[in-house]
Amino acid sequence: MSNPNAAMLVIGDEILSGRTRDANMHHLAARLTAHGITLAEARVVGDDKAAIVAAVRALSDEYDHLFTSGGIGPTHDDITADCVAEAMGATIRIRDDARSILEAHYQRAGTELNEARLRMARVPEGAVLIDNPISAAPGFTIGNVHVMAGVPAIFEAMVASVLPTLTGGAPLLSQSLRIERGEGDIAGPLGDLAERYGDLSFGSYPFQKDGIFGAQVVVRGTDARRIDAAMVELTKLLPE
C-alpha cells in the first residue's frame, strides 16, 4: 500500500505580497516525510473568504490530510476558522473548552481576555482542539483538515501535537551522489536507470560552484535495499 498523502494551504496576504517568507511548508514537508506521509501539493491564498473556502474543499476532497497555516489570530483579517467551518459544513461559535484555555492563559499573564482575543476561541462544532503550548490559542482538526497558526514556532508545536495521532506509512529514505558533469551528459543514463527502478524517485539538481558545473542526483524511496541497489548502478554509470 502507498503512503497516505497530504496537502498544505498557506493563508495570508503577507505571504503573497512578499512581506513575510513562509517557513512552515519546509518544516511540515520534513516532518511528514519522516512520518511516512507524502506532502503532494502546497498552495498559497490570500485573506479572501471565497478563495480559502474553495481551496479547503478541493484539497480536503483530494488528499488524505490537509494542513493549513495562518489566519487564526485575533484580528479582523483572521478568517481561517470561519472559512474552514463553511467549507466543512459546520457551525462555528465560541467554544467553552477553547475559552477556558484562553481564560487560564491570560489570567496567568495578567492580561484581559477582551473581545478580540476571544475570537481565537471560535471553533467549529465537532472539531478537536490542537494544543498550543506557546501562546495557548488552540488550533483544531475537523475531518481531515488540521488548522494551525502561521507563526513558525507555534506551527511547529502544533505539528508535533498532531502527528502522533495520524497513521503514517514507511518513512521516505534518500541517498545522493554528486556528479561533476552537465545534466545534458547524464540525462540519458539517468533516465534509463529511473525506468528500471520505477518504484523509486530520481531527482537531478544542478549546481555551479567555483567554476565547476554538475548535478546532485538524489534517489528516494521507502525500500532501503532498492535504493542501495540503484545507487550501486548509478555510481557505475555516472562515477563521481
Residue 129 sits in the same domain as residue 66: yes
Q: Which of 165, 181, 196 is the last residue of a domain?
A: 165
Residue 22 sits in the same domain as residue 129: yes
Q: Which of 165, 189, 204 is the last residue of a domain?
A: 165
Q: Where are the alpha helices (DSSP H) in 63-151?
A: 80-87, 96-109, 115-118
Residue 140 sits in the same domain as residue 199: no
118-175: pLDDT as tens digits? 999 999 999 999 999 999 999 999 999 999 999 999 999 999 999 999 999 988 899 9
Residue 135 sits in the same domain as residue 196: no
Residue 192 sits in the same domain as residue 150: no
Q: Which domain holds residue 123?
A: 5-165
pLDDT in the model for residue 240: 61
Residue 125 sits in the same domain as residue 212: no
Grid coordinates standing for 110?
A: 495578567
Residue 149 sits in the same domain as residue 183: no
pLDDT in the model for residue 239: 72
User: Whose grid coordinates read 555551479?
Assistant: 208
Residue 34 sits in the same domain as residue 142: yes
Residue 102's domain is classified under what CATH number? Answer: 3.40.980.10
d(CA 172, CA 38) in angstroms, rounded, equals 8
- Rounded to 10°, the helix 49-62/80-87 angle is 50
Cα 170 → chain centroid: 18
Looking at residue 4, the DSSP 8-state letter turns out to be P
Domain count, the chain: 2
CB 136 within 8 A of CB 113: no
Q: Which of 114, 144, 165 is the last residue of a domain?
A: 165
Residue 178's domain is classified under what CATH number? Answer: 3.30.70.600
pLDDT in the model for residue 2: 83
151-163: pLDDT as tens digits? 999 999 999 999 9
Residue 148 sits in the same domain as residue 109: yes
Residue 161 sits in the same domain as residue 177: no
CB 158 within 8 A of CB 117: no
Kindly state the helix (H) or strand (E) to which residue 7 belongs, with its residue range. Answer: strand 5-11
Residue 205 sits in the same domain as residue 152: no
Grid coordinates standing for 15?
A: 505571504
d(CA 2, CA 10) in angstroms, rounded, equals 26
Count, in order, helices (H) and strands (E) of the chain: 9, 11
d(CA 141, CA 134) in angstroms, rounded, equals 18
d(CA 198, CA 110) in angstroms, rounded, equals 60
Between the two ends of the chain, the Cα-to-Cα distance in Å is: 35
Answer yes or no: is pLDDT of 1 > 80: no
Residue 130 sits in the same domain as residue 218: no
d(CA 49, CA 158) in angstroms, rounded, equals 24
55-114: pLDDT as tens digits? 999 999 999 999 999 999 999 999 999 999 999 999 999 999 999 999 999 999 999 999
